[in-house]
Amino acid sequence: MKQDNHGKNHKYGMVIDLDKCTGCGSCMVACMSENNVPFKEDETRKKDSITWMRVYKLTNGKPFPETEICYMPRPCMHCGGKGDHGHSPCVSVCPAVATDYDHSTGIVSQIYTRCFGCRYCMGACPYHVRYFNWWDPKWPEGMENYLSPDVSPRMRGVVEKCSFCFHRYQQAKDRAYVEEREEIEEQEYQTACTQACPAGAITFGDLNNPDHAVHQMVKPDPHACGKPRNPKAFRLLERLETNPKVYYISERDWVRKAGDNYLEGEWEKVKNNHDKGHE
Amino acid sequence: MKVDRRSFLGLGLGAAAGVAVTPATWKLMDDSSIWTQNWPWTPVPPAGEATYDNTVCSLCPGNCGIMVRKIDGRPVKIEGRSDYPVNAGGVCLHGISAIQYLYDPSRIKAPLKRENDTFVEITWDEALDMVAERLTEIRASGSADKIACVTDQTKGTIPGLFARFLKATGSNNVYAMDTMEKTWEITLEKIHGGRSSAGFDLENSDFVLSFGAGLIEGWGSPVKNFKINSSRKERGSTLVQVEPRLSNTAANADVWIAAKPGTEADLALGIAGVIIKESLFNSAFVTASGKGFQELAAVLGKNYSPEAVAQTTGVKAAKIIEIARDFARSSAPIAIAGRGRGMSAGSVREFSAVHLLNCIVGNINTKGGVWTLAAQDYEKWPAVEMDDLATAAFEQAPLDSAGSMAGLFTNAGKEKNIEALLIHQANPCFALGDAGSVTEAVKKIPFVVSFSSVMDETTQEADVILPGHMLLERLEDRPSGAGVAQRVTGLSRPVIEPLFNTKNPGDTLLELARKMEGTIGASFPWESYEECLEAVTGDLWAELSDQGYAAETATPPGGGVKVDFSFIVKSQAPVEMEGEAKDFPLVLVPVDNVRISAGSLISSPFAIKTVSDNVLKGKDLLVEINPETARANKLSHGDLAVIETPKGKATVRVNLFEGIMPGVVAMAKGLGHVLDNNKYVGGKGVNINELMGPIVDPVSGLDAAWGIRARLSRA
Amino acid sequence: MSELEEKTENGSTDASGQDASREQGKKGDAATGYGVLFFIGAFAVCFLSGWLLFPNLLYSKKEQPFNFNHALHVDEMGGCDACHFFREDGSFSGMPKTSQCIECHESQLGDTKDEEIFITEYVEAEKEVPWLIYSEQPDCVFFSHAAHVIKAGMDCRSCHGDIGTSTTTKTYEENRITGYSRDIWGKNIWGIKKNSWDRMKMDDCAECHERETGSKGACFQCHK
């Protein structure tokens, strides 16, 4: 793994407690507001509606009154790829080096001016976290005044996605520099969605740091590419070995099962495998 | 000299070679590739110094503390204030969207007057003169009591100034939207005597039995309740949700009980019956404070046996008994009512049946229970000066005896005429039941003055618009309410100079009063609203202006209460829905969707963007029905259908959802705005208030409608 | 060249046609001569315009709102950071605001025409000076002054050169195609750099990063 000049390597990740998520949508709007995500007249065609953070509604599929629902917020998973070598699905296919994996933070970037809009990355991403700008972003007259200088507004023809609010990391680093510190504290770098969530369902921090809440919540297994050792935690499509940095927690069996596509009978075999871990 | 092919060749080659040994080609290649990355029409937000200003959100009664991130003084983002006692860091999507409300180009940018069918910009002086003259004329004609005012709420100094202005002119017609808070006040008065408002100490309760209250749909103080709910597990608290559909709250609850809509009161009485029968009630409390308990026990035993209630509600008798036992055996159980977001009044029968549960377990004015809170009394107003005209007119009966906004407009359509209507932060033409008739009634009012800063349905009917500042531009005290037990008064402060030619409604009223002279002017002795706020809040001002809020630290003044059980016994008829079952076999219920704003606030583009395509698709609203209902009506998912009620009909699409009771149709509130200048929200979906009418509650006189009979057929 | 051509011509025709071909060859000579002339002419024109005209056409010249004497201010104030400072949150203040300037320049201090312009047109009008920033990077660039100046201990000169000792503000040259300042590409039209501050393109950042840290860095390190 490449070393960098920014101290020890971090692996920023997110843990979302699906039993706490109420589906209120604050994370989505906090993200849009933080990251200059545009909006258009009709946003009901969800495939071309840009929401870096999207809350999905899952149901257990049972009839009334056995029905249960679960809301699942879905940011970019910032996959480390197999073996955590940084070969995330999108990074490996980008012909323009418009997206790369930062080994010092574990964050997958997206550089809009570099992107030429081939959308290979969108095809490669199994989580649908990437969005294409089919149109120029347009803010009604005057509303461009709320745009933040911390994130570049995108242009037509490029792909965009969640950056784990990387600019907040940069800002935290800058503050640390002027205070002549090397490292930033857990609370200094939090994503906009984490900060806004009224239910406290989102936790963000350094998965490599045992003092951070995210580490303690999922107990990532260092020998199995961060696979959670907490039996109630799971990652989406774990078996693809994309090695996401977003973990979900739920007490509910059916919710954890919904995190991957299992063949009949398969789930029963794997559902408690987490307990054993790879110690 | 003859120029031939070779010469051209020479020319070309020479040029090529010449250019090749200059930097031009290489530089141009580099520059043009950079050029392709530049989209001059993509905005480049200017950088600058980042600062944060604290204020209090005034978009709903929740009153969360917010921080506004500014870049060189330009607000760019709203975040929750983590040191604020209400929301402690979290913020809802509507609060974050305040940034869009602020810069919205469809805001009203200057005073307007109606000229035929359009609005014409006028100066503040002209506008205030027009209003002052007209109101003076109405007063002179002896119709001062026909001036009415509707506001979003009754508490706080801005609604206070409206009430004061009306009183000084001689009218006691000040109305606010009918909400669950009003119904709770009436319920507490009937059961405990005396006026108080309800505070629910959900944080300290270990068993919350909610009769349709959307604790995570935005009920009460939304973010506070989100937080309380999410700490439920750590606190070992249980949430039981009674609701005909799997709302977000029901989905998040420990137990979801789908009772037939409209039978919530019966279920509550059934549960109470079990608790009494099994002697699980707090006998010490009941004996010490109660009146008419034996009589109640007898009635419940006779009419509300678990089996009988199971029959009415569709909830199994065993389940009723189980819930009753769990509730009564908890150390701090609390039962709450007020459907959805609690932005409609509901029936007193239902509220009192629910509150009976709190009474029999004695969880009143104790930790984790219901508090009967005395009115906040920090506002110290000097007496209103009234001339003879005002005194005489003020004695007249109000236009609606119950003080119901719904009633006001029903009456306005009938015999009682409103001569002038002042509207502040309310949108009755959209948000009241039977919105069409309300709009007709408003159209008939000869003089309508709106203080709105957005062109909503009611403001479109105004004759004069005196646009107010938006949140972030506006100074205002925000008293606690919304069923919060610990009271926090917030101060909403301007964080930016007004963007447009608007005024704080407080200042507008002061100037208006001065223009009307006499005792009216004399009743408003302050130079500015700021001065008024400082004077009126008195002792509280120092704390308010210093830290931005004033929180009560002591336990609320509750103490011993008396319980009159006989009120509950007095048989009250349930509030029936409009319509006949034979014509309209289905039941349409309104749904509060947390991502859609349903009251006077119009949803922001941000909020609308988050709405599911199972709720809104293109311009079509989707109603939620059980697949069984769909089969019976020969509909499949996404089909266009016509929904008809006794009040009207609309074209919708259907969304098949297992989590809704068969026979029930659920429709999101807050859609179907008719707004010409807002293409993000306007013209999308159907306003459920066009399909439902108000039903007057026999006890409160408020609108108790909770649903209406309906039929659904393929379009 | 003409010899070669002659041979070719000869080789391509048979002996009997020599006269005719010689005749033709003469004509050919003349044409070739013109061709060379055209070649040289075109070469000269393009060469000269590529070197002299092109750079002038490529950049439009803009003057600063008024002249600013850095040397004087650095002397008086004691260093770059007196005016271009770090904020508490770690961000860099960049171009000073008028409010900063009026701490000294509330009224005119000296008697220069430039200060007079500043006082009358900006201080009194409460306006910001629309300075043209020589080192302005495009919006997609995130540059942390804190990381470079505080963490890495670089001095301002490494990137900004000798602007601190300048007594006048040079003409701002804006690339007509990209809209960027000429200083990004560098004054030298070939982009040749002698000093670290001669050019501020991505490759220059990468080069230094690679040298100093062993890696060009990840994209997000400098992009937003």
Per-residue pLDDT tens digits of chain A, which is 279 residues long: 344 444 468 999 999 999 999 999 999 999 999 999 999 999 999 999 999 999 999 999 999 999 999 999 999 999 999 888 889 999 999 999 999 999 999 999 999 999 999 999 999 999 999 999 999 999 999 999 999 999 999 999 999 999 999 999 999 999 999 999 988 999 999 999 999 999 999 999 999 999 999 999 999 998 888 899 999 999 999 989 999 999 999 999 999 999 998 888 888 877 765 544 443
Q: Report the DSSP pairing between strands B238-242 and B255-257.
A: parallel
Q: Which residue in C38, C176, C1 sits closest to B18, CA to CA?
A: C38
A100 to C218: CB separation less than 8 angstroms, yes or no? yes
B31 to C177: CB separation less than 8 angstroms, yes or no? yes
Helix (H, G, I), strand (E, B) or coil at B396: coil
Q: Give the whole-angstrom CA distance, residue B414 versus residue B144.
A: 19
C217 to A152: CB separation less than 8 angstroms, yes or no? no
Q: Give the whole-angstrom CA distance, residue B69 versus residue B65.
A: 13
| Alpha carbon distances (Å) from B466 to A158, B129, B501 | 44, 11, 10
Dihedral angle computed from the Cα positions of residues A90, A96, A98 and A103, in that order, rounded to the nearest 10 degrees: 70
Distance from CA of C68 to the nearest CA of A (A): 28
Chain B within 8 Å of A46 (Cβ-Cβ)? yes
B609: chain A residues, CB-CB within 8 Å? 28, 32, 39, 43, 49, 51
Contact (CB, 8 A) for B340 and B219: yes
Q: Which two tokens stand for residue B662?
A: 């068969």
**Sites in chain B below the pLDDT cut of 70:** 1-3, 413, 415, 553-559, 571
Chain A within 8 Å of B260 (Cβ-Cβ)? no
Chain B within 8 Å of A172 (Cβ-Cβ)? no
Q: Give the whole-angstrom CA distance, residue A64 versus residue B626.
A: 8
Among chain A residues, the shortest Cα distance to C217 is held by A4
Contact (CB, 8 A) for A28 and B627: no
A113 to B37: CB separation less than 8 angstroms, yes or no? yes
CB contacts under 8 A, B 28-57 vs C, are 28, 30-32, 34-35, 37-38, 40, 44-45, 47, 49-50
Query: A: neighbours with 3+ CB pairs under 8 Å?
Result: B, C
Burial C62-79 (b: 16+ CB within 10 A, else e): eebbbbbbbeebbeeeee
Chain B within 8 Å of A174 (Cβ-Cβ)? no
Residues composing chain C: 224
Of A2, A107, A171, the CB nearest to C90: A171
pLDDT of residue C12: 44
Q: Which residue in A51, A202, A128, A27 sits closest to B613, CA to CA?
A: A51
User: CA angle, corner B624, sides to A261 and B582, nearest 5?
Assistant: 140
Write the DSSP symbol of residue C149. Answer: I
Distance from CA of A203 to the nearest CA of B (A): 13
Query: B: neighbours with 3+ CB pairs under 8 Å?
Result: A, C
pLDDT of residue C18: 53
The structure tokens 């004509």 sit at: C27
Of C46, C139, C189, the CB nearest to B44: C139
The domains of chain B, with CATH numbers, are: 5-38 (no CATH), 50-103 (2.20.25.90), 124-176+382-484+488-551 (3.40.50.740), 180-216+231-369 (3.40.228.10), 586-714 (2.40.40.20)
pLDDT in tens, B139-152: 899 888 899 999 98
B31 to C175: CB separation less than 8 angstroms, yes or no? yes
CB contacts under 8 A, B 683-702 vs A, are none
Of A25, A44, A70, the CB nearest to B613: A44
- B575 φ/ψ sector (left φ>0, alpha ψ -120 to 50, else beta): beta
Q: Which two tokens stand for residue A180?
A: 């002549």
Q: Please state, rounded to an integer, the average pLDDT across all residues of chain C.
A: 84
Of A22, A143, A199, the CB nearest to B105: A143
Domain ranges across chain A: 12-276
Q: Which residue in B100, B102, B59 sits closest to B453, CA to CA?
A: B102
Residue B40, preceding peptide bond in cis (omega within 30° of 0)? no
Distance from CA of B385 to the nearest CA of C (A): 46
A3: chain C residues, CB-CB within 8 Å? 214-215
Indicate which of A20, A21, A28, A33 best probes the interface with B, i.e. most B CBs within 10 Å of its own CB.
A33
Q: Give the whole-angstrom CA distance, residue B392 versus residue B166.
A: 13
CATH of domain A12-276: 3.30.70.20
Helix (H, G, I), strand (E, B) or coil at B599: coil
C138 to A113: CB separation less than 8 angstroms, yes or no? yes
pLDDT of residue B413: 67
C224: chain A residues, CB-CB within 8 Å? 150-152, 166-167, 170
Q: Report the DSSP pairing between strands B238-242 and B207-213.
A: parallel
Distance from CA of B19 to the nearest CA of C (A): 5
Of B1, B14, B28, the CB nearest to C40: B14
Q: Give the whole-angstrom CA distance, residue B280 versus residue B324.
A: 9
Indicate which of B92, B96, B655 best probes the interface with A, i.e. most A CBs within 10 Å of its own CB.
B96
| Alpha carbon distances (Å) from A106 to A84, A223, B695 | 9, 17, 59
Chain C within 8 Å of A164 (Cβ-Cβ)? no
A105 to C86: CB separation less than 8 angstroms, yes or no? no
Indicate which of C220, C222, C223 best probes the interface with A, i.e. most A CBs within 10 Å of its own CB.
C220
pLDDT in tens, C158-175: 999 999 999 999 999 999
Q: Which residue in B184, B300, B310 sits closest to B569, CA to CA?
A: B300
Could you tell me how far CA B106 lies from the centroid of its own chain? 21
Dihedral angle computed from the Cα positions of residues C101, C106, C107 and C112, in that order, rounded to the nearest 10 degrees: 0
Chain B within 8 Å of A145 (Cβ-Cβ)? yes
pLDDT of residue B37: 84
The crossing angle, in degrees rounded to 10, of helices C18-48 and C2-12 is 140
CB contacts under 8 A, A 7-36 vs B, are 19-20, 22-26, 28-30, 32-34, 36
CB contacts under 8 A, B 494-523 vs A, are 499
What is the pTM assigned to this prediction? 0.91
Distance from CA of B617 to the nearest CA of A (A): 5
